């Protein structure tokens, strides 16, 4: 019987439950704990933070979570951690984590920073070499937006993680790698699979996809949820995989949620685009023949994935500065609350125009009336609704004036206005998304592995 590797994922996004990684490490009997934090929005936020502080730009949850994991790292010598929480600054994140390790007497623990995904400093070179960087969906050229770019990150694959583990890293901190690659990297390292063993790469990539969003595979967001399915102590997912590519999804015993073909299937089809061509940096995966079989309580076997060579290009996530936005809310109570709320929103925007600002984009929503998802649920007119107004404009001054028009509605608007006692909304810089591609031979992962104590020198 071949060895079974146990990989659990304790985070599906930046802001996920801070206790989940610790609870999973305590109960999961894991070989690897992955922490998946990045999305296009997250990269934009991290780019903004790094622009204000060169030592920032990584997911601030990472040191907090690693601090909670110190007892497990001391008690479970087999446990390794792989995370893309390095975001825009894996080396700074490695230093922050190394400081915690050294203080806990784990200064000899080897920590890896995997970078190379940030191509913003290389854009002139890459464009001169023929990279067009046109919009992935529209084909629009980058053009004048080049001067507004705040970040440009390639979705790297599992190779850098495998290399780091091969150099003895126990903590691997990456920048932007594909979500499924966080699972595939350890599997490649442990089982020594070749880079063209497509069926096995596909199987492990499906496994990584199934656990990448944390508790979404174990009952979180399950469409058929009812009150008999508590989630307060939901268990986060674990994949069991062997050297032949056999995959089972499970979770720690005694936890809430469920692992069934239905809960796993909902995660399987989440954000995959063409099910016959789920494009990753490592393999082109065909999900169309995947089978999910219940083999025991909270145990689902996953089989049937197929794979072909990875695409010749990497996906690139770029963010560009695109003005300012703000959102404000009020509660509107009374007869015809929906109509009154919309009238209050129109009144607010009218007063902004009177002040000389024609906002580029505006949106009025009456939360509770069904207007947020038009055509899905029948419209109703409840006794109270939450008025939410959002605006976007190149001018920070225009957006600032918008935020000042909420409070006056208390006495110069319609009756029934309340919910105004919180702080005033404020303008936030907008970083808009520009997806593109780049030939994969233009980019390589950069792997730096050293003991925690060395990272502090």
Q: Decide if 374 contacts 432 (C-beta within 8 A).
A: no
Q: Please say if the pLDDT value at position 256 is more than 60.
A: yes
Residues 99 and 215 in one domain: yes
The total of structural domains in the chain comes to 2
Domain membership flag for residue 386: yes
Q: What average pLDDT does the segment 137-146 reach?
A: 93
Angle at 173 between CA 168 and CA 179, to 5 degrees: 115
3-state secondary structure of 457: coil
Residues 199 and 340 in one domain: no
Domain membership flag for residue 40: yes
Domain membership flag for residue 134: no
Last residue of a domain, one of 311, 342, 375: 311
CATH number at residue 344: 3.30.70
- How far apart, in whole angstroms, are the C-alpha atoms of residue 36 and residue 269? 18
Residues 301 and 327 in one domain: no
Residues 238 and 100 in one domain: yes
Q: pLDDT band for 422, please (50, 70, 90 cuts).
A: confident
Q: pLDDT band for 1, please (50, 70, 90 cuts).
A: low
pLDDT tens figures, 2-59:
799 999 999 999 999 999 999 999 998 999 999 999 998 899 889 889 989 999 999 9
Q: What average pLDDT does the segment 135-162 reach?
A: 95
Domain membership flag for residue 142: no
What per-residue string of b and e applies to 360-385 under the rule 16 or more CB within 10 Å gives b?
Answer: bebebbbebbbbeeeeeeeeeeeeeb
Q: Which domain holds residue 257?
A: 4-117+155-311
Residues 378 and 306 in one domain: no
Residues 237 and 345 in one domain: no
Residues 297 and 327 in one domain: no
pLDDT tens figures, 278-323:
999 999 999 999 999 999 999 999 999 999 999 999 999 999 999 9
Residues 291 and 427 in one domain: no
pLDDT value of position 381: 86
Residues 249 and 293 in one domain: yes
Domain membership flag for residue 124: no
Averaged pLDDT of the chain: 96
Residues 220 and 86 in one domain: yes
Q: pLDDT band for 340, please (50, 70, 90 cuts).
A: very high
Domain membership flag for residue 454: no
pLDDT tens figures, 355-404:
999 999 999 999 999 888 878 878 888 999 999 999 999 999 999 999 99
With 0-12 CB in 10 A as exposed, 13-18 as middle and 19+ as buried, what is 188? buried
- In the structure, how many helices (H) and strands (E) does the chain have? 13, 19
Domain membership flag for residue 276: yes
Residues 333 and 303 in one domain: no
Last residue of a domain, one of 311, 329, 353: 311
pTM above 0.75, yes or no: yes
Residues 305 and 186 in one domain: yes
Domain membership flag for residue 148: no
Range name among 31-35, 157-161, 223-227, 444-448 with the lowest pLDDT average: 223-227
**H or E element at residue 21:** helix 20-27
């Amino acid at each position: 019987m071949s060895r079974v590797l146990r990989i659990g994922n304790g985070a599906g996004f930046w802001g996920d439950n801070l206790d989940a990684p610790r609870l999973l490490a305590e109960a999961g009997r894991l070989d690897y704990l992955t922490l998946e934090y990045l999305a296009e929005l997250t990269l934009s936020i991290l780019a903004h933070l790094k622009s204000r502080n060169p030592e920032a730009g990584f997911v601030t949850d990472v040191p907090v979570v690693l601090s909670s994991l110190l007892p497990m790292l001391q008690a479970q010598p087999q446990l390794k951690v792989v995370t893309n929480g390095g975001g825009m600054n894996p080396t700074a994140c490695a230093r922050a984590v190394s400081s915690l390790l050294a203080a806990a007497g784990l200064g000899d623990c080897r920590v890896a920073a995997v970078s190379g995904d940030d191509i913003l400093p290389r854009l002139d070179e890459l464009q001169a070499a023929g990279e067009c960087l046109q919009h992935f969906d529209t084909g629009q050229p980058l053009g004048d937006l080049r001067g507004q770019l705040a970040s440009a990150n390639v979705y790297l694959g599992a190779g850098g993680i495998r290399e780091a583990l091969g150099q003895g890293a126990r903590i691997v901190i990456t920048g932007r790698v594909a979500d499924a690659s966080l699972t595939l990297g350890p599997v490649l390292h442990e089982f020594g699979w070749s880079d063209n063993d497509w069926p096995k790469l596909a199987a492990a990539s499906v496994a990584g996809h199934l656990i990448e969003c944390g508790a979404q595979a174990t009952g979180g967001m399950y469409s058929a949820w009812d009150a008999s399915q508590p989630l307060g102590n939901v268990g986060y997912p674990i994949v069991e995989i062997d050297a032949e590519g056999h995959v089972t999804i499970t979770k720690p015993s005694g936890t809430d949620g469920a692992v069934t073909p239905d809960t796993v299937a909902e995660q399987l089809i989440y954000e995959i685009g063409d099910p016959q061509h789920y494009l990753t940096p490592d393999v082109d995966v065909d999900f169309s023949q995947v089978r999910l079989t219940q083999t025991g309580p909270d145990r689902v076997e996953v089989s049937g994935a197929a794979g072909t060579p990875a695409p010749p290009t990497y996906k690139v996530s770029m963010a560009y500065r695109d003005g300012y936005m703000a959102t404000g809310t009020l509660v509107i109570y009374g007869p015809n609350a929906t109509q009154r709320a919309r009238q209050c929103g129109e009144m607010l925007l009218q007063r902004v125009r009177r002040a000389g600002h024609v906002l580029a984009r505006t949106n009025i929503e009456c939360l509770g009336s069904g207007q947020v998802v038009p055509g899905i649920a029948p419209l109703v007119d409840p006794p109270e609704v939450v008025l939410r107004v959002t605006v976007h404009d190149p001018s920070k001054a225009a957006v600032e004036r918008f935020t000042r028009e909420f409070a006056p509605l208390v006495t110069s608007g319609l009756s029934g206005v309340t919910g105004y006692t919180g702080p005033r909304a404020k303008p936030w810089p907008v970083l808009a998304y520009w997806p593109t591609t780049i030939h994969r031979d233009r980019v390589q992962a950069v792997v730096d592995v050293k003991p925690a104590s060395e990272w502090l020198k």
